[in-house]
Amino acid sequence: MCDARALPSGRERPPVTAAARGGAARTAVTVVFVVHGLLFASWTAHIPDVKAGLGLGDGSLGLALAGAPVGSVCAMVFAGALLSRLSSRTVVRITLPGYCLAGTLIGAAGSMPQLFAALALWGAFQGVLDIAMNAQAVAAERARGRPIMTTLHGCWSVGALAGAGIGAAGVAAGVPLPAQLLPLGVAGMLAGLWPTARFADDPAPPHGDRRGGSRASRPLLVLGTIAFAGLLCEGAVADWAAVYLRETLRLDGGAAGLGYAAFAASMVVVRLSGGHLQSRFGPRPLVTALSVLAAAGLAGGLLLAEPAAAIAGFAALGIGLASVVPVVFSAAGNQPRLPPGTGIATVSAIGWTGFMCGPAVIGFLADRTSQPIALSLIPVLLVLIAGAAWATPVLNPARPEEGA
């Protein structure tokens, strides 16, 4: 379809194709992904100062930090119903200001319960915004006629890296957390809201039928299980890579952070090229092959027990996990007879539960065995992800032509 409008002179504007509208929607939703990632990571460098300022121990800090994922998962339970009644454009316009401004309450917290509550509120806005922007990504993907979800998640990772850098610079300059988060939140809100006018219209569920939730429950359970395993691995490496390198392999100081840095950098590279990879190989072969590669790389790094090999193993893990969540979200948003937001919300809630469990599971196993044995759970989960991706037809390619 195309849209031609008359110019004042009587001449018609060039027709606006569906692909052009999809390109505009992609650019618009990319901004939201970057803002989401930037704010998500911008406060992490301040955590030690917040801990010291509130006089929290490790256990109390861990409990307070659980507020964000708890708030996100609880809100995700209701996000699907919200998106079945409101467009993803409307939900982004509601939740983006809340997400950008609620973060300022973190710096104002004066106790552990207040910090938990501030993070839970922030996480609730964060979780619903995450569902809405991924639902819009499905709409843009269909309108554009090619897979873009993995690239969008790569842009989120770029935003997160930038946010982490801003936070580190703020700490180095002695900038208080509220003084950083308020202007950053206002700027992010303005930057993210402005392009929402160019969002694509949400596609109706295939066949125009919003029923059929029971039929979709089994495919969503499979997708949710894959997301659970993938995000469990992500949560585990985020909290334990540096600990393993420092305590087990005796890597000094800041060098212990190279494990997670290698993981994050390789994930960004693969995600930014993920759309081309997915178009060429297809989502099922891509997830399967990269998961096997990551399992072999990390297992080898753990067996060699050398810092360089371990860091290379964490880089391989980033390569393997890069496509899992974007491909799963795209598949969830394209389930027959189900609104995209409902499918993504269901899979996200299951997946983020894995993210919350990952650090605790590794810690439990490490306490009873050793850190290398505990981390060996990750290659096992990667093999299971590869097997599930290869065996199930659920990871079908996105069907953008249905919305074009």
| Integer angstrom CA distances of residue 157 from 110, 114, 154, 264, 318 | 31, 29, 5, 8, 12
| Segment 317-363, tens digit of pLDDT | 999 999 999 999 989 888 877 788 888 888 988 998 888 888 788 88
Both tokens of residue 194? Answer: 């402005």
How many whole angstroms separate alpha carbon 116 and alpha carbon 240? 22
Residue 129's CB is within 10 A of a number of other CB atoms, namely 27
Model confidence pLDDT, tens digit, residues 124-143: 999 999 999 999 998 888 88
* pLDDT tens per residue, range 269-306: 999 887 788 878 888 999 999 999 999 999 999 999 99
d(CA 66, CA 44): 14
pLDDT exceeds 90 at position 403: no
The reported pLDDT for the residue numbered 291 is: 96
**What is the pLDDT of the chain when averaged over all its residues?**
84
- Tens digits of per-residue pLDDT, 20-55? 677 788 899 999 999 998 998 888 778 778 888 999
Q: Which domains, ranges and CATH numbers included, belong to the chain? A: 16-203 (1.20.1250.20), 211-397 (1.20.1250.20)
Assign 59 a pLDDT band (cuts: 50, 70, 90).
confident
Mean pLDDT for 193-208 is: 78
Q: Indicate the length of the chain as a whole number.
A: 404
What is the predicted pLDDT for the residue at 254? 65
pLDDT exceeds cutoff 50 at 399 = no
Region 163-188: mean pLDDT is 89
In the chain, the percentage of residues whose pLDDT exceeds 90 is: 41
Arithmetic mean of pLDDT, 165-188: 89
So what's the pLDDT on residue 1?
42
